[in-house]
Structure 1
Amino acid sequence: MPVLLLSPRFSSDSIALATEASRLSWRVHRLHDRRPPARLAEEDLVFYGESLLADTIGKALGLALLEPAADTLSLLPEELVRRDVRFTTLGAARGERFPRFVKPADEKQFRASVYHSGAELPGPEVLEDGLPVLTAEPVCWLDEYRCFVLEGRVVTASPYAWKGEREESSLASFDLEGARTFAAEVLARAGDSFPSAVVLDVGRIEGRGWAVVELNPAWSSGLYACDAAGVLRVLQRASGTSRTVASGDARWLRPLPNIEG
């Protein structure tokens, strides 16, 4: 039976997953600190937590964590992203024409936002010029949706933003069915460039139509109103162990550092 391994940090998402896992007769283990019991390495683990925790405990527990390549969004066809997206470095991004949306390609070393000049970005005294980043043409997102994907199909989906702000579905004109339809189109056309278990965010750009917002690892993504049972199905593939990972998923594995102590 799987063991759902959770961060010491309580959140509504981790509580929802723990509740559903217990209903399915899974065992649930919430870590008390960043030093997990060695016995957990023998279990059929399914991990859900922040990337820093994954890097701290992952190697010792033999976790196999799937994540999309950092440059995936920039390689998608223009008609799926409907804006100029580039994969570059922080140093090179300072020389682009602004305003420009800039975000770290992998971690959250600085705030993802629309910047109005290169001088607003972190300088080389703060972050290395070679840090990978994604830059994009600023656009106005009308609405945004989170899709948990398994083997090319949307398992569960939820709206999460209306005009850049969190909104309850009853308060905005969301089109969840349209989001699912567009996500299915994206997966049919570009699914081979995604991990078999991943989070795909889509939305509507004002004046342009449906587009891919971004891709994220399922094991560290918020649920919003997605079905917890469906998310657990995706997590089983996205955050298992080296004993359970499928051979075809090897190219999507997150490199995990060796942490002593």
Structure 2
Amino acid sequence: MKNIIALSPMYTEDSNNLKKASINSPYELNRFNARWNVPEEFRDDVIAVYGEDIYAEIVSDQCGLTLMKPEDNWLSLVSEEFTKRKISYGHLKDYISQENIFIKCSDFKSFKAGVFEKVTDIKGFDSLDLKSMVFTSEVVEWELEVRCFVSESKIKTFSSYWRNDVFDMNPLSETEEKEMLSFFETFIGQYASTLPKAIVLDFGIIKGKGWALIEANPAWCSGLYACDAEKALEVIVESCIKN
């Protein structure tokens, strides 16, 4: 039996880096074809998947995989001690009257997350299902954002990706790294039992408030930025369970 990881047919820098990282690994990364269809003869050998969330869900059904991810409302249940901002979870219709809020669809598919002066400013609002589930939060200013691939409550690799309103993958300073790891240890000590064993966690610094949890994302569809691709690959494999 081979250990195949199904890669999306969409070529990206992340998928290319994972492909290179697999050369000396026990895994075979295969894009199969552009129809998002894994041939029958390979399905038993597919142990993980990586790509866009819709692609991953389709392939997981074909290959008998359970894709690990946090509960839909998980972020709203985390204490403000760690989020440093008020976060709520509910139906889109419940927030129509609110102004100047950050809003994100919980299924990542219906609309692009962002800060909206009015909820009705969401692009394509008139076509949205008002019963769809969303996260909202008060608007804060992020000075730094960092992605962490986590397995068994340990950060395996991390990378910054945003600093002072611009894309930035430069290494953290020694002080930033020390502070982030300390914050992570305190956070994971309280919330490890609420998360899958393999997950991506984003942390950052909110202006005037300090280190905070941004969100949790499934490893099987998360971007790598400057993370170590070999280490990220292991977390991705662990985030998919063969049924």
Task: Flag whether TM exceeds 0.5 (same fold).
Answer: yes
Output one character per residue of 1:10-54: Cα deviation in whole Å (capped at 9) or x when no partner. 111111111111121422211212121111221152211111112
Question: Per-residue displacement from partner, 1:130-156 (whole Å, max 9, x unpaired)?
Answer: 100000000000101001111111111
1:127 corresponds to: 128
- 2:239 is matched with 238
**Distance of 2:112 and 2:173 partners within structure 1:** 27
Q: What secondary structure, in the 3-state scheme, does the structure 2 residue paired with 1:199 have?
A: strand
Counterpart in the other structure of 1:88: 90
* Match for residue 68 of structure 2 among 56, 66, 69: 66
Structure 2 gap ranges (5+): none
Q: How is 1:167-178 mapped onto 2 (pairs within 5 angstroms)?
A: 167-169=168-170, 175-178=176-179
Deviates more, 1:78-87 or 1:36-45: 36-45
Of 164-173 and 205-214, deviating more is 164-173
Return the alpha-carbon distance in structure 1 between the equivalents of residues 166 and 241 of structure 2.
33
Contact 1:183-1:200 within 8 A present in 2 as well: no
1:259 aligns to what? none
Instruction: Say which SS state the counterpart of residue 180 (structure 1) adopts.
Output: helix
Per the normalisation by structure 2, the TM-score is 0.92
Moved more, 199-208 or 56-65: 56-65
Tell whether the 8 Å contact from 1:157 to 1:176 is kept in structure 2 after alignment. no
> % of aligned pairs identical?
31
Asked if the contact 2:56–2:220 (Cα under 8 Å) also holds between the matched residues in 1, the reply is no
CA deviation profile, 1:198-233 (whole Å, cap 9, x unmatched): 100000000001100011000000001111111111
What CA deviation, in whole Å up to 9, does each residue of 1:86-112 have, x standing for no partner?
01111111123x210001012231121
Aligned length: 241
Mapped partners of 2:28, 2:112: distance in 1: 36
Q: Is the 8 A contact 1:44 1:240 kept in 2?
A: no
Q: Which has the higher strand share?
A: 2
Cα distance in structure 2, aligned partners of 1:44 and 1:60: 10
Match of residue 257 from structure 1: none
C-alpha RMSD over aligned residues: 1.9
Unaligned runs of 5+ in 1: 243-261
Tell me: CA distance 1:168–1:155, structure 2 relative to 1, closer, same or farther (3 Å): closer
In the alignment, is residue 39 of structure 1 matched against residue 41 of structure 2?
A: yes
* 1:57 equivalenced with 2:59 (yes/no): yes
User: Closer, same or farther in 2 for the Cα pair 1:129/1:178, shift >3 Å?
Assistant: same
> Residue type matched to 1:132 in 2?
M
